[in-house]
Structure 1
């Protein structure tokens, strides 16, 4: 057990990727084999593989005390109204702008005729927060991995590493149709490997830079990471599900530009002008 603990401490990124992939692909295998349907609870469990991995690896690396500290960061909420506003609503104009830019790529347009009534927004966000995005992934990417990578590298390099690992974790969604658009559609249209590489470079890494920026400027608040991830729920309300690739391509342009501006303004070392990056060094 000590050998495993030492390996996890020395190789957090490899440990995170391998175990999260095993748990994720392992749960997806019955779906891939056609044994269980795509809409079964098995898919939901696979979606939780990142957070489950984060909990397991935290226990291995730093025991119950480390796990307690990780969950304590879910209670960090006094971070300023500006950060709350960004985490909740920033993706809405980004995605809307992506839909407009999508028209330049493949002729998609900004069509809001399918947007549901306003009362559906909050229930969908809560569902994403409690059931899917937040609890499903953030205990892994920001709870376990990011602060340990930041103990060795500056915030920008750490974001690149986490973004690569996070992106590779999505590989199965490019290969098989799991009703997680537009990954499968991109793989079919442009090839799995080119789509995955482009997705990591222009989507996951810029997006991870924004997560790191929020995380380091909110005292390492996992709560804000949960909220930011869950705000993807708004995206589903605006998207025309019959035309997904165009908006995603447009969105990658916008988020890449924003990430570059964040690095330029806040600096690569901490992605913050007032705070040191959040680190965890396992003994």
Structure 2
């Protein structure tokens, strides 16, 4: 009879104690983050009571989304899985071109669409103030305070694991559905009317497109969640530009940026980036699958 090694005993213990989670980690995550009190329930409180929504958004982000992702990761992959997931939230070493796309793509395309359609105006505080406000909203208030941690759950945990199973396209669609659904209480806060129905329909249609854009960033940056958090914050900040009259321009910019990045990958990415379902799955598996411990000293070559 052999005695299990410490690594084997730890794996066996996790298998026994977290068996349902290990069999259905994504389902458990969605139940915690979306369907139960941490998700819809938490956002329903300010809708029904009139309380400020910001504290509940923070609770949803840090407890409902991030907390659920870390808990499930711990039960499935052990403490090493948490370290790998959080390490990806600070993976900043990708090329300057990708940084430019992530940080400047949304505001530039939003302003360009506004200029073409005659809805561009001089910002109330001037262009220098507008640029400073955008950078603060994207890099400090948006990314560091909220969106980086939100995307650690949506992109780093859920979409990455779905990409490892199904590839980029299916993962974007499957992630886009709950990503859109968790926002429904906020859309329904003012009751039901034609504008609310239109906005919900646009959200459901745009969410998979947006998740496809973020999925391409994941694949092209080696799984960086930081890239996703900044892109998410950039979208939010671009929607609040004072130089643009209207809300549709930022939606068009999301679609246009996704198409441009996808085209660039097809034209210039052959041989240098994961293209095709099998390559996408292999790349995502490298970020999400637990790393096997190396053989004990002295076992090499036996």
Q: Tell me which interval the TM-score lies in, with the shorter structure as reference length.
A: 0.7 to 0.9
1:226 aligns with 2:226: no
> In structure 1, which of residues 176, 191, 198 is the aligned counterpart of residue 189 of structure 2?
176
Q: Distance in 2 between matches of 1:262 and 1:7?
A: 41
Deviations 1:154-180 (A, max 9, x none): 122112211222122222222115xxx
Deviations 1:208-252 (A, max 9, x none): 1111111111111122222222223541441579733x3355345
How well do the aligned residues superpose, as a CA RMSD in angstroms?
Answer: 3.3
Q: Distance in 1 between matches of 2:201 and 2:181?
A: 9
Q: Which has the higher contact order (CA 8 A, sep 6+)?
A: 1
Change over 3 Å in CA distance of 1:247–1:236 after alignment to 2:
closer
Change over 3 Å in CA distance of 1:249–1:69 after alignment to 2:
closer
Asked if 2 retains the 8 angstrom alpha-carbon contact of 1:114 and 1:238, the reply is no
Unpaired runs of 5+ residues, structure 1, are 178-183
Q: Give the Å deviation of 1:271.
A: 8.1
Deviations 1:45-91 (A, max 9, x none): 23443223222221222221111111122342222111122221111
Aligned to 1:114: 124
Q: Distance in 1 between matches of 2:102 and 2:210?
A: 12
Q: Give the Å deviation of 1:4.
A: 8.2
Q: Distance in 1 between matches of 2:66 and 2:125?
A: 31
1:44 aligns with 2:50: no
Asked if 2 retains the 8 angstrom alpha-carbon contact of 1:112 and 1:238, the reply is no
> In structure 2, which of residues 141, 146, 156 is the aligned counterpart of residue 132 of structure 1?
146
Q: Distance in 2 between matches of 1:233 and 1:195?
A: 16
Between the two proteins, the alignment pairs up a number of residues equal to 263
Q: Give the Å deviation of 1:153.
A: 0.8
Q: Which residues in structure 2 correspond to 1:92-111 (within 5 Å)?
A: 92-99=107-114, 103=117, 109-111=119-121
Higher Cα radius of gyration: 2
Query: Which moved further from structure 2: 90-99 or 64-73?
Result: 90-99
Unpaired runs of 5+ residues, structure 2, are 1-13, 270-274, 292-302
Asked if 1 retains the 8 angstrom alpha-carbon contact of 2:44 and 2:185, the reply is no
